[in-house]
Amino acid sequence: MTKIQYCPTCRTALVEKGFEGKIRLACPSDTCDYVYWDSPIPVVAGIVEYDGKIILARNRSWPGNMFGLVTGFLEKDEFPETGIVREVQEELGLTGKVVALVGLYPFAMMNQLIIAYHVTGEGEIQLGHELAEIKLVEPNRLKPWNFGTGLAVRDWVLSLGNTT
């Protein structure tokens, strides 16, 4: 993703300046105090349990062998619990219910903060426009991956007493 280049307040080209021990892009104008903090974007993720199995989803833009959790950006003024229930509805057509917060996970590669939940889903699965396919996995056969939402899967699997 391209970094911001101009001040959104006065349109002056941003320059690098030191703030709080880090180099940040900032407006050099004496009349403007804008600093681009590049803060992480909040993302909700769901370990969605459906008929005793966990749903793994493949986004249309991902390779054929890559599956992950249902995720989405948190919207303005939205509680994370509401956001993951909305994403489960949009992407799977299911009515979701939050069971528990699994944890918070920084995902530096995408500059995101993942807020992960265990969610149950009810209804009939109907894939939204973002998903190409899903697969249902027995909880005891779920294998965590070492980045992004995989860390939430790891913690959830460990909470079940399964060390795989």
pTM: 0.88
Per-residue pLDDT band for 163 (boundaries 50, 70, 90) equals low
Q: Which CATH number belongs to the domain containing residue 66 in this structure?
A: 3.90.79.10
Tell me the backbone φ, ψ of residue 121, rounded to 5 degrees.
-125, 135
Per-residue pLDDT band for 40 (boundaries 50, 70, 90) equals very high
In a domain, 2, yes or no: yes
Number of domains in the chain: 2
Q: Which domain holds residue 72?
A: 41-159
The model's pLDDT over 106-136, given as tens digits with 9 standing for 90+, comes to: 999 999 999 999 999 999 999 999 999 999 9
What whole-number distance in Å separates Cα of residue 117 and Cα of residue 44? 8
- 87 in the same domain as 57: yes
Q: Closest Cα partner for 55 from 98, 119, 106, 112? A: 119
- 85 in the same domain as 54: yes
Q: What is the DSSP letter of 13?
A: B
Beta strands 95-107; 41-50: pairing state = unpaired
The residue with tokens 């600093």 is 35
3-state DSSP percent of the chain in helix, strand and coil, to 5: 20, 40, 40
- 24 in the same domain as 76: no
- 20 in the same domain as 57: no
CB-based contact 95:87 (threshold 8 Å): no
